[in-house]
Structure 1
Amino acid sequence: MTKLKNRTIAANWKMYKNPREAREFFGKFLPNLPEGKVPGMLFFPPAISLQSASESIVDCDTVELGIQNIHWENEGAFTGEHSAAMASFLGAGFVLVGHSERRHLFGESDHEIKNKVAATIGAGLKPVVCVGEKREERLSGRTAEVLTRQLNAILSEICSEAPGDVLFAYEPVWAIGTGMLPESHEIEEAHSHIRDWLRIEIGQKVSSTTQILYGGSVNELNSGDLIKLENVDGLLVGGASLDPIRFAKIVESAVL
């Protein structure tokens, strides 16, 4: 069974790093991990590099792997797609679902995201569900409304008897890859909203045990402050996770 530490630092490599580059990354990253109780580390490499990454971490029990996208069907005539079961076969224990690039660049709907969450859980994997508002939604005071809509879409897939089966990542769309970082109180308010929604809709047990990560322009200079914020259980890192030394510093900032 996949198990994470109390804090999780996740890396979304997007469409970077082929299998050779993935091996080279871990060859430099693992020796630079800090001493002490390191947080759980979760990598989402491109699907083509998943097996290479899996082979690279075989002796490291603090690193987990996930896949960036799946189709909700187990198999079928879906050219270019892969299922959660296929991802599991290659070593993935997690699936990134609902990332803003999937929502806005590829037009994924809340209904499709719900189906992907269901397929992920059905295959015995854990979804990391991304939610977040656009800049204009933030400026018009609609952040809570947008988060609630995105959360309600997957409500039926979250089981009150299995806390920890779903992780969340708050990623304000306008902060991803832009260098723009929300104010600390804005991050705390969004994470608190997600935590309260879990408590009200599902129950205190799930609310208190579900990890909520923050993602959006995270780097080694701000990670130490971000990880200390209320209701922030970890970080989802994009560009800064591509450099093994920079990412090792981010992990170090979260050492308990």
Structure 2
Amino acid sequence: MANGDISWRCTVIQCTLTIQTNSKISNLLTENENIFHGHNIVENRDIQRQIVRNNCKRKVNECISERLNTIFRHELMAVENTELLYGISSIRKSTYRQRQKIISAAPILINELVQQIKINSLTTHRNETFCHVDEELKIVIHTSKSNLEYLVNNSYTILGGGQAWYRQIEKLRLKIEYDKNESEISTWLKYFFGLSFLHSIDISDTFYELFSIASNNNKISAVFDCILANVIENDSIYPPHL
């Protein structure tokens, strides 16, 4: 209030009663004869339940990374007599609803994901953009300017696409051959993963050297074409100079 006094209202939604106290909550300013709720006395268990519910909802807003069950159990342990509580499931539900208000729903479609990432605009502690989205190719990259500068200035670079290569091997049904220790095809396929440890200027030459010793096999050629199109060529998604 303007004069520093505090106005209080009944916790029962249907009740319109309000009372006033001083700023230190030491004196009741409302006359006793004017205090009339117009409803039955609220039981102690209802008050306890409301206190726990309010505490849970407040903690949900303050501790966004803390698990809801942890918050819920912590508040229940603070109650001296839990037998006075009832309707615990309603408290749990209200806690989950409060968390849903501050956390966006998980996207279902790729377009929804792209838009959500753009809106959230994730940044690092240095206030650098951490999440980059290519809307046309639907590619999401988590990195920052500092990370990219390190990769560019470092003597060696890590070649991307290792997981994509392995998926291609599985797709072409070469996994059984890949898992063999003494197979010529297995050895040749595993050589490709060593490209990640080469300097960017040496990757292309080494790649073509590997192709020159490859077996005459349609599946091997398919692996070669996949890596060439996605990693080796300058206009690929992950060129060696990145």
Relative CO higher for 1 or 2, CA cutoff 8 Å, sep ≥ 6? 1
Larger strand percent: 1
TM-score of the pair, normalised by structure 2: 0.22
Larger helix percent: 2
